[in-house]
Structure formats: structure tokens, C-alpha cells
Amino acid sequence: MNTSINPSTSTPATPSESALIGLASALMQRGWLLATAESCTGGMIAAACTDLAGSSQWFERGFVSYSNEAKQDMLGVPAALLAQHGAVSEAVAQAMVLGALNRSQAQVAVAVTGIAGPTGGSSNKPVGTVCFAWGMPTDGGPTVGAESAWVKLQTCHFEGDRNAVRVATRQHALHQLLVLLNQQSR
């Protein structure tokens, strides 16, 4: 699913503490831990999570896999997948989120890979293109080895400069994770 988002009208500039508290609460109620796999945000999602006191109760680890080599080494993203689809693709975001689940003790993960700019864009993947993946248990049970993980994929386009794209990516990743956790509990 492709979505175009203008961060100045759709998301606040910084993650709200109340949203993070909601995310923390949703994870702690389930006894789940979160892992992040980040490329274009360079650890901003993990930093937002760990800015909240008590995050060690629900945040397990963050992978910053900026280069293709890091995606392969840290998360097990196949080189062939990167060659076929490119680093900024839903296929790679999915491999990143499954790799984060496989290589951590977390039950829930979020992955982002994108083009924050100002360079690096193309006509097919312009600056501001970000691919997301969220992974969580399919049945409320553990995702040991990620065999039973449910994954949601999304591609968005964010407007603005490099910082605006990265902030909007962080916001969307965390907000959508909370939405998905709330939907899953119904």
C-alpha cells in the first residue's frame, strides 16, 4: 500500500509521550518486548522508545542497519533480495523485521528503510519514500524464530527535508505499531 503523507499536517514534530506510554502499556500488558530494525532513521525510533523511563521493561534492542552489508550481517537480509528489489522496498523491510525477530528476544518488531535525501532518490523511488514492516505474533504466542509472525507492509512518501522525512518516519512507525497492537487485542 502506498501512502503520501505531509508531516506538517498529519503528524506532530516529535513523538508524544502519551503515545509512547500507550505503546509501552500495550506491550507490557502482553508481556512482549519490542525490537527495531532501522536504516534511514539511524536509530531514531529506538531512541524515542528509550527516552521513556522504564523502557527496559518493554524495549529489547535496536538494530541500525544503514548499509546493505549491515542489513545482511545483522538481520540476515539476503543479498539476492537486495539486488532484486533494492534496499528501499517492502520485500527488504519484511526481511528486516523478520531478521529483528529472529535475532532478538522480542515478540514485536518494526523495520524501516527509505530515502531521507537530499540525494539518493530516483523517478521510481523519490526522496521521501519509506518502506515499513511491522511484525508480531499471529496468535498471541511467541514469535520464536519468527515462524508464526504476522507482518504488515506499507510504503509511504513523506514531504520535506531530510530531518522532516526521518521525523515523520519515526512518528508513523510508532503510531502505526500502537494502532496494530490495539487492533490485535480486539
CATH code (residue 125): 3.90.950.20
Report the amino acid identity of residue 41.
Answer: T
**In this predicted model, what pLDDT tens digit does every residue of 156-169 receive, in sequence order?**
999 999 999 999 99
Those residues with Cβ within 8 angstroms of residue 102's Cβ, 6 or more apart along the chain or in another chain: 76, 145, 146
Average pLDDT, the chain: 89
pLDDT of residue 70: 98
Note the pLDDT of residue 185: 67
Instruction: State pLDDT tens for residues 123-132.
Output: 999 999 999 9
Q: Write out pLDDT tens, residues 11-30.
A: 443 456 778 999 999 999 99
Closest CA to 110 of 69, 63, 145, 76: 63
How many Å apart are CA 96 and CA 105, to the nearest integer? 15
Query: What cell was used for 92?
Result: 527488504
CA distance 55 to 50: 5
Q: What integer pLDDT is reported at residue 149 of this predicted model?
A: 81
Taking the C-alpha atoms of residue 13 and residue 36, their distance in angstroms, rounded to an integer, is 20
pTM given for the model: 0.88
Give the pLDDT band of residue 138 (cuts 50, 70, 90). confident
Instruction: Name the percent of the chain in helix, strand, coil, to the closest 5.
Output: 45, 20, 35
Calpha distance 69→41 (Å, rounded): 17
| Total count of domains within the chain | 1
Cβ burial, residue 145 (10 Å; 0-12/13-18/19+): exposed
> Which domain, by its residues, includes 122?
2-184
Closest alpha carbon to 76 in 104, 47, 105, 40: 104
The SS3 call for residue 169 is: helix
| pLDDT for 18 | 79
Cis preceding-peptide flag for 118 (omega within 30 of 0): yes
